[in-house]
Structure 1
């Protein structure tokens, strides 16, 4: 066993040597990891905080606590924890810990806090702003083994589970009980419930179910000093004192590590229909949405918009075709309810009215499960095309509807020939735009051309620079565009009170 431990430590030392040796070290490590992105610290010129490095005595403690099978130190195995999913950010963590229980998380954080070891909580690692990706050599605490469903009250619909449960697995479990989780994402096959809560994820059906702030009833959280905070209420109403759980929803692991979640789930709808429509311009898209709200508000689940460049991306990179031909804009509408005949009548009447008013040009409607999935795949698989379209800058904004697509037009003009394509799609029903800019390759010059211009225009249009992805690492420096200095000071005071040594997910959210 001692030989194995020495080998582990040798790997760590090699890794640290690569990182500290400058450019040549980065190239050596790049070769070790078979990974393309440069280190985040180099691309963004970040200065490492005053934290300890992982030493042999630290490894010894973690090994004794978790055993060797739940510690990752091999360079090739570390890659997936150090590199974000779209391969633009890269940390230098030398160790990943995989606890199974809240008590193990508590002991890890207590030890790290006492030894000034920075930590990076990580779930499914599907975020796009670097919230779950280490920047330097933080100790990664992965929740992937904390994946147990603890309880389900079928009468109230309250589910309690560990933070590492995968969203799709939870929803499939609920389906057997005729319930549905109040969140649906394209990354549902790999994202974790804890990560969803930590970023206050929105997803495809916020229009019906709302944000997680309104669906999470309780949390169990481990503070930076290892103290376990039991906020795991399963009551719909509880007005006893401050609502502390809300501090951790959307905090991106900077105030504590989520270990358990209690969520209010809903009845699974008996009737689901999807309409996929072609429209002439964005003005008609808005007219269609307003009409949709007027005619079908009680059964409306989702209202998604896709522009031509996005559909072209899906066609070129993924080989997927629009089922209705080519149009300047596309709208995907989903309805769900408890009465098939009622819902079908309302949808048919709505579509007939839109055609007569020339709001829409063409469309297709289905209630068949296979066809429903095929149409939704056009929307959900859009991010898969990013990796095949050079380097893609991804942005996530909330905007007033009358300004929703103006930002896309502004960025298209601003980029000119510097970009391959500028495309916009998203959850129009809740004002959430996903604006993406693809270029041949990442350069600091192009990044500076895009930012802060794109965020300043967002603020100009009375929007938010982050709708559902959080601030993470990539957006943290723009928090001042959205919040007053007084508000930021309060946030910093809360952070300092709850994490005085600053070990929880440094360089994120507040910068």
Structure 2
């Protein structure tokens, strides 16, 4: 093994090209084997049934898988992978299929391993706030379960009604609450993972402190199903706040957005749980799509900010919030603002932010770029792209988690075409690289970004990633053609 790892670390061979000549296609004999231990409803082969599994949410990536397997237990997953590894059958693990970078659909005819039947909550410890569950649990369902226990999930995503917690972990999803609760690298206490050869790696710790050797679970957070299939999750959940507020503010310039953020960090500090921004094009898209929503402020402006606070004392939090609002309005930093006065207003304000992606998707082909940048430079990228695409795009807008430096750049064209992609790429990635940013803040690499991974990672780091991949998945059956580039320098 040591000789093998050393060899792979030094050679930098073409991983993707090797895969394309060594993997097998599923046969009738294989299907018979799967049906021998899986329920009849767990093996899907009808072409019509396969359509939603073979295409992504954006309708940008399409695969040609001829079978979807829906295991109900970790043992099922283990048997599937053991067999596939022996037969060198490629497998794409799939959760809610909300991935935005082509990571959850086949590139060719890989077997789709859907976790949507593994959706049980295993346990909840109210004293420690630790939830253990299957990887196929829908995020919103976990939220509903925890609400009854006076707890919340540490992540909150626009796709929470369909995304799975296992997929969230596999992609290291960030979302709206990262500013307050940090990334999943801190919230995840343990994982249950099935390796490529069928080995079940039980790392389902519920301890907050466990300093015994390598923290193996960290390898699989953000690995996008290329190192193992996550089947179980142990996660620390925060107590539900007694007092929550949300405000919607308007600004005339991006500089005022930054000044608002600076002031919010100083004045709201420990009670601020989210700080989001969106430009007027993004808001206009939502208002045109959601007839039940209206602009909260009287006059449309260039930029808007959504701030959420959550704490334990309603009077204390509102006092801090009102003092902050008086200061930013008195100094002319914001043009106008609205504080939600009811649960309905609270939800409507958040809907304006969370419905942007859906509204843009209804307008045309959306090229989405999820990047991390210094906060002072985030919107410069949007403006430079607007100049570059001109009138060719239907909409070019920017929004995102400015509190943690995460920009969502969206460019909408009438259709997905090579000529449109060539306008944007590699320009966007080179621009981000020059600013020492990241080409993926929270959506992952998937099939979309392996060729630009070097803009954020050194080739030395990429070679180490390949070494780990080769060690855990030597036959390359797990989510092939994803994350790592085909050619490594």
**What is the CA-CA distance between 1:48 and the residue it aligns to?**
4.1
Q: Is 2:312 the partner of 1:326? A: no
How far apart, in 2, do the equivalents of 1:270 and 1:106 lie? 43
- Aligned twin of 2:7: none
Offset from partner CA, 1:340-370 (integer Å, 9 cap, x none):
0000000000000001110001010025211
Question: What residue is the counterpart of 1:253 in the other structure?
Answer: 225
Alignment-derived partner of residue 279 in structure 2: 307
Q: 1:393 to 1:502 in 2, by over 3 A?
A: same
Cα deviation for residue 217 of structure 1 reads 0.3
RMSD between aligned alpha carbons? 1.3
* TM alignment of 1:150-299, pairs within 5 A: 150-299=122-271
Determine the C-alpha separation between the residues in 1 that align with 2:418 and 2:289.
26
Which position in structure 1 is the counterpart of 2:354? 380
Q: Shift of the alpha carbon at 1:471? A: 0.3
Superimposed CA distance per residue, residues 197-254 of structure 1 (whole angstroms, 9 cap, x where no aligned partner): 0000000111101111110000010000000111111100111001110000000000
In structure 2, the CA distance between the partners of 1:252 and 1:386, relative to structure 1 (3 Å rule), is: same
1:508 corresponds to 2:482: yes
Distance, in Å, in 2 between the alignment partners of 1:270 and 1:138 is: 47
Structure-1 separation of matches of 2:323 and 2:395 = 37
CA contact (8 A) 1:314 1:321 kept: no
| CA shift for structure 1 position 80 | 0.5
State the alpha-carbon separation in 2 of the partners of residues 276 and 111 from structure 1.
54
Q: Partner residue of 1:9?
A: none
Aligned 1:44-59 pairs, distance under 5 A? 48-59=20-31
- Structure 1 counterpart of 2:312, from 329, 338, 342: 338
Task: Report matched runs for 1:45-194 at 5 Å.
Answer: 48-194=20-166
1:460-494 Cα shifts (integer Å, max 9, x gaps): 12211100000011011111111111111100010
Offset from partner CA, 1:132-165 (integer Å, 9 cap, x none): 1111110110000000000001000000000000
Structure 1 residue runs without a partner (length 5+): 1-44
CA contact (8 A) 2:19 2:476 kept: no
Contact map agreement 1:317 1:389 (CA 8 A) in 2: no
3-state secondary structure, aligned to 1:423: strand
On the 8 A contact 1:48/1:136 being kept in 2, the answer is no
2:194/2:200 contact within 8 Å kept? yes
The question of 1:356 aligning with 2:330 is answered yes
8 A Cα contact 1:274 1:335, kept in partner: yes
Per-residue CA deviation, residues 40-96 of structure 1 (Å, 9 max, x unaligned), is xxxxx9994531111111000011110321111100110000010111110000000
The count of corresponding residues between Structure 1 and Structure 2 is: 467
Unpaired runs of 5+ residues, structure 2, are 1-16
Please give the alpha-carbon distance, in whole angstroms, between the structure 1 residues aligned to 2:149 and 2:21.
48
Please list the CA deviations of residues 230-279 of structure 1 after superposition, one character each: whole Å capped at 9, or x if unmatched: 11111001110011100000000000000000000010000000000010
Give 3-state SS (helix, strand or coil) of 2:22's partner. coil
2:345 aligned with 1:371? yes
2:420 is the counterpart of 1:485: no
In structure 2, the partner of 1:431 is: 405
**Separation (CA, whole Å) in 2 of partners of 1:113 and 1:46:** 16
**What is the SS of the residue equivalent to 2:270?**
coil
- Which moved further from structure 2: 387-396 or 208-217? 387-396
Does 2:441 match 1:467?
yes
Name the counterpart of 1:415. Answer: 389
Change (3 A) 1:57 1:81: same
State the structure with bigger RCO (CA 8 A, min sep 6), 1 or 2: 2
Deviation track 1:171-216 (CA, whole Å, cap 9, x = no partner) reads 1100001011101001000000000000000001111011111100
> Following TM superposition, where does structure 1 have runs of at least 4 consecutive aligned residues deviating by more than 3 angstroms?
45-49
> TM-score of the superposition, structure 1-length normalised?
0.90
Secondary structure in 1 matching 2:369: strand
